[in-house]
Amino acid sequence: MADDPPLRIETPAGLRAWSEAARCDGLRVGLVPTMCALHAGHVSLVRRARQECDRTAVSIFVNPLQFTLGEDFERYPRQLDADLAVLRAEGVDVAYLPSVEVMYPPGATTRVCVGELDDVLEGACRPGHFEGVATVVLKLFEAGRPHRAYFGQKDAQQAALVTRLARDLDTGVEVVVCPTIREPDGLALSSRNAYLHGDERRAALCLVGALRAAADLYATGERDPSPLRAAMRRVLAAEPLARVDYAEVVDEETFRPPGSLAVLAVRIGATRLIDNHRLGDPL
Ligand code: AMP
């Protein structure tokens, strides 16, 4: 089993050597960063990478820097064997599996500061989260030297931030943002859906319900963020298990109003879920 594909690499130097060998052969390298507990959303990124690149590496690393105090870092659903089986079935070339000690050895205190996207919505709710994301993504880009890196629209603010980081820091990496994959009933796939128990799974549909309400109003010609936001909040207020962190309609680069990206973060019991939708697109 240990010798089965994908090739497992555990150090930045190992990943860089693999990537540089591929580049020397004229091959295009794709990178898909993940935390673990792979689902069809992750697989959609992997398939896109496999279509567009000659070699694909998937990183699996639960990044402690992007969890704020009191969040679920310890209990995040790790399942390495199942994840490796997914990567094998998808024909992935490399699984990059650094330990926390390898990624952040003692004294590694440098952080990537992300600027204004850190002040709003996810950034404001989760202080330090995006600094942690930006730091790990830059490290993955440096070690993996990919031509392209694949991220999900599901985490819209993260995707915007990574797109900006890649450009601002001259990484030479082309960031590709892939559509959100949903369950048949509309719930966006997320590793955290595993935390939803009993009635919470049904209650979680209020997220996509709120996005649909905003989309329906937008389709009537409404463009003012305030009634669009109110339509989302009405749906969320009707769900007794839901507590709203934010529900807004914002610009998809600045994450400030006005705009046409509906974004929301909602707690269902102890589980915090996020979702978003570009108003005007099919949902
Ligand atoms: P995570 O393991 O949650 O950090 O996610 C790794 C990557 O998969 C990120 O770029 C996410 O945006 C993306 N992703 C997560 N859920 C979905 C989904 N439902 N559809 C598409 N991409 C997703």
| Whether the CB of 48 sits within 6 Å of ligand 1 | no
Q: Is 191 in the pocket of ligand 1 (CB under 6 A)?
A: yes
Six-digit token string for 247:
């529900």
pLDDT tens column, 56-113? 999 999 999 999 989 999 999 999 999 999 999 999 999 999 999 999 999 999 999 9
Q: What is the pLDDT along the chain (283 residues), one digit of tens a residue?
A: 567 899 999 999 999 999 999 999 999 999 999 999 999 999 999 999 999 999 999 999 999 999 998 999 999 999 999 999 999 999 999 999 999 999 999 999 999 999 999 999 999 999 999 999 999 999 999 999 999 999 999 999 999 999 999 999 999 999 999 999 999 999 999 999 999 999 999 999 999 999 999 999 999 999 999 999 999 999 999 999 999 999 999 999 999 999 999 999 999 999 999 999 999 999 9
Atom number, ligand 1, closest to the C-alpha of residue 44:
21
Please choose, from the candidates 216, 207, 212, 210, the residue with its C-alpha nearest in 3D space to the C-alpha of residue 188.
Answer: 207
Claim: this prediction has a pTM higher than 0.75: yes
**157 CB under 6 A from ligand 1?**
no
Which residue of 31, 42, 129 sits with most ligand 1 atoms within 8 Å of its CB, as the best mutation to test the pocket? Answer: 42
* Contacts for 62 with CB less than 8 Å, ≥ 6 apart: 35, 36, 73, 76, 78
Q: Can you tell me the distance from the alpha carbon of 118 to that of 141, in angstroms, rounded to the nearest whole number?
A: 20
Residue 156 — φ and ψ, nearest 5°? -60, -40
The ligand 1 atom at the shortest distance from the C-alpha of residue 191 is 3
**Whether 197 is catalytic:** no
**Active-site residue among 42, 129, 147, 277?**
42
